[in-house]
Structure 1
Amino acid sequence: MSPTLAEVITALERAYPPALAEPWDAVGLVCGDRTEPVRSVLVCVDPVESTVDEALELGADLVLAHHPLLLRGVHGVPADDPKGKLIHRLIRAGSALFCAHTNADSADPGVSDALADALGLVGTAPLEPKPDAPTTGLGRVGELAEAEPFAQFVRRVAEALPATAWGVRAAGDPERMIKRVAVCGGAGDSMLGVATRSGADAYVTADLRHHPAGEHLEKGSDLPALVDVSHWASEWPWCEQAARVIRDAFGGNVAVHVSERRTDPWTLAASR
């Protein structure tokens, strides 16, 4: 018997408790009937036209997305609005949309655990633990099995994550040995200070801005070297982790698909 949407939501909220979400966030069920059965799920980072297309092609009853569709308050979802159009398409197809965002970021395991695993880190712990639940919180810090030069570590990151036009950018001495590594899936320059205090040799995150990165590097060569990847690529490993949550809860009663469609907004890169 296929589980109901309500039963799938219970499993997801057990893995990614809504209480872990930041106060400004919008997580949970966006559209869908909790009493309907769920036979097929598509897991993705972004609920956008491409992934909705994929979900409808698969006949998915549920789209599980990391990023919220309606993060900021809206007064309506008309079909001639890009986001409203997606909701109308999903409802007409009988597909639900559920989002796990900052609650998945802080969960144990969560988004940064998936990134750390992809890079081969062991012995990980939260960079910024929640006071009342020290195994949860933003970011992770762990160690490589063996130290390696920074240039080699940057190649490791590039090989571990899906390719994007953004690519992998790095700042640091290519010969510096890297052993202890901090990571934060998604935009993480606000965690630069925390990564530094963790004693990390390198910090991997997305969306590093010019001034915070430059000011960090000016403070000394013993601070973590920086690796900047695309936002989407840094969070994509979570999709398989979330897929396992559903597979483990319902076995073969639900077909779970991980989207491989690149929804990173940057599509071209050029250099001189």
Structure 2
Amino acid sequence: MKLADVIAVLESAYPPKTAEKWDAVGLVCGDPAEDVTRVLVCVDPASSIVDEAVEVGAQLVVAHHPLLLRGVNGVPADDPKGALVHKLIRNGAALYCAHTNADSALPGVSDALARAIGLTVTGPLEPAEPDGTGLGRIGELPEAEPLSAFTRRVAGALPATVQGVRAAGDPNRLVKRVAVCGGAGDSFLETVKRAGVDAYVTADLRHHPALEHVESGGPALVDVAHWASEWPWCEQAAEILRAAVGGRVDVLVSTRRTDPWTVGASSTAAGGHA
């Protein structure tokens, strides 16, 4: 298939027009007229992913996060991001990014996260259109379970990271109705309070907003690594591509961990500081 044909499939599933205005989605490098026989799907277009694409002979890397989110004046080969662009081009590989348009799609990033956890999705957390699209998702577990068990459920559903999974709230609180948002989701804390959920699963939660949320009586919080929260989307995107181009294009999901944290340790000190 031509790269342009594969892009058409992606843009049908994740329309670029639904991306946030500040976002940078679409084709970063590559010739739409070139042939594609293998695709590699990932979260981050990092150096290890580009190396993997070269190793497996992929002509297209589909990433969730943009490589060039902020404006640049050039991509010289001695710049870290420029070096990735040069390596991709030299090895005949294109890069395509679907970011906030994949967040709001139906299904999208949060659908994949909800599915991994075992939730039945009932609708978006913040609706954008009457057709069910929007950011975040609300779903339900088959049976209520304590927050402690639900936290273990989330940890078992996502790839392991140094950060792991942590929760804020009463460990015995029963959890059945859950809100999720793949990626950084603390901007939805007020929305979650009004959503009538028992817990909220997202990434990159900060100390003060989380503390204020819990102390004000909000639902329990389950904080996971940003990369881990969005990794289930890779299989979703791969399934969409396989359904459309199966037999003509080989679609792989990268298993390389691009979470930036590499070392973890537990503190043994007693007490704390205000």
Structure 2-normalised TM-score?
0.96
Deviations 1:211-251 (A, max 9, x none): 1111111102xx21000000000000000000011101111
**Deviations 1:125-153, CA, capped at 9 Å, x for gaps:** 110010x4441110000100000011000
Paired with 1:178 and 1:16, the residues of 2 have a C-alpha distance of: 31
Distance apart, 1:20 and its partner CA:
1.1
Aligned pairs (5 A) from 1:242-257: 242-257=237-252
Aligned residue for 2:70?
Answer: 72
Q: Which residue pairs with 2:9 in the alignment?
A: 11
Q: Kindly indicate whether the alpha-carbon contact (under 8 Å) linking 2:14 and 2:105 is maintained by their aligned counterparts in 1.
A: yes
1:218 aligns with 2:227: no
1:82-131 alpha-carbon deviations (Å, 9 max, x no partner): 0000000000001000000000000000000000000111133110010x
Q: CA deviation at 1:154?
A: 0.3
- Paired amino acid for 1:40: R
Residue segments in structure 1 that go unaligned for 5+ positions in a row: none
Alpha carbons 1:60, 1:95 under 8 Å: kept: yes
Runs of 4+ that moved beyond 4 A: none
2:257 aligned with 1:262: yes
Q: Does 1:147 align with 2:144?
A: yes
- Equivalent residue runs for 1:68-147 within 5 Å: 68-130=66-128, 132-147=129-144
> Are residues 1:167 and 2:161 paired?
no
Partners of 1:127 and 1:163 in 2: how far apart? Answer: 26
Give the Å deviation of 1:196. 1.5
Which shifted more, 120-129 or 162-171? 120-129
Structure 2 SS opposite 1:11: helix
* Structure 1 length-normalised TM: 0.97
Tell me how many residue pairs correspond in the alignment: 267
Describe the shift of the 1:212–1:134 C-alpha distance in structure 2 as closer, same or farther (beyond 3 A): farther
2:155 to 144, 154, 158: 158
Pairs within 5 Å for 1:178-257: 178-220=175-217, 223-257=218-252
Q: Deviation string for 1:163-203 (max 9, x for gaps)?
A: 00010011111111100000000000001111111111000
Residues 238-266 of structure 1 show CA distances to partners (whole Å, capped at 9, x for unaligned) of 00000011101111111111000100001
Partner-residue secondary structure (3-state), 2:35: coil
CA distance in 1, matches of 2:157, 2:123: 20
Question: Structure 2: which 5+ runs fail to align?
Answer: 269-274
Shift of 1:78: 0.2
Q: Is the 8 A contact 1:44 1:65 kept in 2?
A: yes
Partner of 2:29: 31
Look up the equivalent residue of 1:218 and give its one-letter code. Answer: E
